Amino acid sequence: MGSRRGKDKLLYCESCGRAVPRTKAVDFNKRSAYSTDLRGDDNVTAFADRTVYYCISCAKHRKIFERKKEIAARRRTRF
């Protein structure tokens, strides 16, 4: 990946909409839960993961770096 030439693909920040090169964007996996909200046995819950990208300043402001560190620490202690 380091030997590529030319421009990086531009991604857009989820928060402010700024165009950021792919190599500088901070990626974060968001998990959403969708539920039917039915009480009882018919309740269905679905989970969806999606990757969102932030510029450096929005990632610092939203404390994405701290969250990523916590997630990595949880994964290390789990296994």
Is residue 4 one of the residues assigned to a domain? no
Using one digit for the tens of pLDDT, what is the confidence trace for 11-22? Answer: 999 999 999 999
Cα(first)–Cα(last) distance of the chain, in Å?
A: 30
Is residue 3 one of the residues assigned to a domain? no
Is residue 2 one of the residues assigned to a domain? no
> Count H helices, E strands: the chain?
2, 4
Comparing C-alpha atoms, which of 48, 49, 53 is closest to residue 27?
Answer: 53
Domain that holds residue 28: 10-35+43-78
Residue 28 has pLDDT above 90, yes or no: yes
Is residue 72 one of the residues assigned to a domain? yes
Using one digit for the tens of pLDDT, what is the confidence trace for 42-53? Answer: 888 899 999 999
- The number of folded domains in the chain is 1
Tell me what percent of the chain is helix, strand and coil, each rounded to the nearest 5.
Answer: 25, 35, 40
Residue 30 has pLDDT above 60, yes or no: yes
